[in-house]
């Protein structure tokens, strides 16, 4: 049995989910217009026409984010030390493929 209010709740839930996804997509699109290093240092990156080939870090800075992630998992670093944009783009971060356990920090 499904009541009208349950149906409404489900519709609202779907709406919130799509708004959230859109907000993330917008933040990502903004980042690709003006990419900065994902380690959080704020340094600008050279923009690549092809988003697939866009660099995510200044040379060597992926190691910084990696050690921040390890610190978060060890409880030595607060979770918010991971930049929001790094969370959004985590599926593209190379070291999370080789060290999947670090993705728990994101």
Site residues (CB under 5 A) for Zn ion? 37, 39, 41, 58, 61
User: In terms of Cα–Cα distance, which of 17, 13, 36 is closest to 84?
Assistant: 36
Q: Is 58 or 92 the residue whose CB approaches Zn ion more closely?
A: 58
Work out how close the CB of 64 gets to Zn ion at its nearest, in angstroms, rounded to a whole number: 6
| Cβ atoms of residues 61 and 53 within 8 Å | no
- Least separation, in Å, of the C-beta of 6 and Zn ion? 47
The answer to whether residues 34 and 47 touch, using CB atoms and an 8 Å cutoff, is yes
Q: For residues 60 and 100, which CB has a smaller minimum distance to Zn ion in the complex?
A: 60
């Amino acid at each position: 049995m499904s009541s009208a209010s349950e149906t409404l709740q489900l519709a609202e839930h779907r709406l919130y989910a799509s708004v959230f996804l859109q907000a993330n997509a917008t933040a990502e699109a903004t980042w690709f217009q003006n990419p900065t290093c994902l380690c959080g240092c704020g340094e600008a990156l050279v923009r690549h026409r092809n988003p697939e080939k866009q660099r995510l870090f200044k040379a060597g800075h992926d190691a910084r984010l990696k050690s921040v992630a390890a610190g978060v998992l060890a409880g030595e670093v607060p979770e918010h030390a991971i930049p929001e944009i790094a969370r959004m783009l985590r599926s593209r971060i190379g070291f999370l493929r080789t060290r999947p356990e670090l993705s728990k920090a994101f």
